[in-house]
């Protein structure tokens, strides 16, 4: 080969100009549900605090992401996201920005921890929900369309606020699943089951969402326990 011949090597990925990279972090494990101690509600949504295992996951997330050049950190209005983001916020000196539209899918009459109990029991409504891939099979549950609409609005605000930047959003399992469903055109529940404390990476463009990774758990091996991918 001639020494002056042009070589065309495989390039590394670079976000298009104006794009916003978002690291979607699922909150750490929240406390266990029990019939005699339901979760408190915030605007109709169950709002449990983190389990001790979830607090350990939050510290590991902070260790993983403290070297990232993050322009902002977002959380939902449910405390398990702000509690998970807190160690990273302290390390980076950032104040978390609350966006209520990032809250978990509303489980209607099954809020307060009842969803977990129904899932464990194999309730017929839960099985139908899984088969039809629709949250509103649950009595008074949120529709897929309503969930998508508020998440599109939240993502668009992030994109407009942070062009050419990388941010982190501490969110929920149902939120991550729906965002990746919208990005890829997959079945609605194809991406359910993200582990607590996992990181998924998307890129927001004006006309689409690119997916870079899903459910990265490399930093969490010592804290993953059976059932930690349970919704909410």
Q: Are 24 and 16 in contact (CB under 8 A)?
A: no
Low-confidence ranges of the chain (pLDDT < 70): 1-3, 222-232
For the domain made up of 20-106+143-220, the CATH class stated in words is: alpha beta
Q: Where do runs of H (alpha helix) occur along 93-172?
A: 114-121, 124-132, 144-161
Measured CA to CA, the distance from residue 85 to residue 104 in angstroms comes to 16
Distance CA 47, CA 54 (A): 14
Q: Assess contact for 159 and 217: CB atoms under 8 A.
A: no
Domain boundaries, the chain: 20-106+143-220
* Chain segment 86-96, per-residue pLDDT in tens: 999 999 999 99
The tens digit of pLDDT for each residue in 105-135 reads 999 999 999 999 999 999 999 999 999 999 9
pTM of the model: 0.93
Rounded to whole angstroms, the Cα distance separating 32 from 20 reads 35
């Amino acid at each position: 080969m001639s020494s002056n011949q042009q070589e065309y090597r495989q390039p590394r990925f670079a976000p298009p100009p104006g794009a916003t990279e978002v690291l979607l972090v699922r909150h750490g494990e929240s406390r266990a549900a029990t019939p005699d101690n339901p979760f408190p509600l915030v605007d109709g949504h169950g709002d449990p605090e983190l389990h001790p295992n979830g607090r350990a996951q939050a510290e590991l997330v902070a260790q993983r992401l403290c070297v990232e050049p993050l322009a902002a950190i977002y959380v939902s209005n449910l405390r398990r996201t702000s509690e998970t983001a807190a160690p990273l916020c302290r390390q980076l000196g950032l104040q978390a920005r609350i966006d209520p539209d990032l809250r978990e899918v509303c489980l209607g009459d099954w809020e307060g921890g009842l969803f977990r109990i129904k899932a464990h029991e194999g309730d017929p409504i839960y099985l139908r929900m899984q088969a039809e891939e629709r949250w509103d099979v649950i009595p008074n549950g949120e529709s897929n369309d309503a969930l998508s609409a508020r998440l599109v609005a939240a993502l668009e605000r992030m994109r407009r606020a942070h062009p050419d930047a990388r941010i982190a959003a501490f969110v929920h399992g149902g939120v991550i699943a729906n965002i990746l469903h919208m990005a890829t055109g997959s079945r609605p529940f194809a991406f359910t089951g993200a582990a607590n404390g996992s990181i998924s990476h998307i890129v927001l463009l004006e006309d689409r969402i690119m997916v870079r990774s899903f459910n990265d758990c490399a930093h969490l091996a010592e804290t993953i326990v059976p059932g930690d991918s349970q919704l909410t």
